[in-house]
């Protein structure tokens, strides 16, 4: 726990930072975004052996293709949002 003097100093720093760089404060106060594409790729990577084992190599290939398509679509949507 911070002492009262340190709490006041921290509040002062936060207040000055909010005035100087409001975009930074907005980014830091916002909800933490889950990195969607890396999580998607990791999930597919971990489940792919089971898909291949239980459903066959064709199902594994289809899974990889659908994942690649989904990643491309997600990147295209992000790029379109940035252009606005």
Q: Give the CB-side neighbour count of residue 49, counting CA atoms within 13 A.
A: 2
Contact 37, 46 (CB under 8 A): no
pLDDT tens digits along 41-83: 999 999 999 999 999 999 999 999 999 999 999 999 999 999 9
Closest of 6, 73, 10 to residue 40, by C-alpha: 73
Asked if the model's pLDDT at residue 37 lies above 90, the reply is yes
Q: pLDDT band at residue 1, thresholds of 50, 70 and 90?
A: confident
Q: Which of 51, 54, 53, 73 is nearest to 62 (CA)?
A: 51
């Amino acid at each position: 726990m911070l002492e009262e003097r340190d709490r006041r100093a921290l509040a002062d720093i936060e207040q000055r930072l909010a005035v100087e760089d409001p975009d930074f404060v907005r980014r830091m106060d916002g909800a933490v975004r889950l990195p969607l594409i890396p999580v998607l790729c990791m999930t597919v990577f971990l489940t792919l052996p089971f898909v291949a084992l239980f459903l066959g190599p064709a199902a594994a290939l289809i899974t990889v293709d659908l994942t690649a398509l989904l990643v491309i679509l997600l990147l295209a949507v992000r790029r379109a949002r940035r252009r606005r």
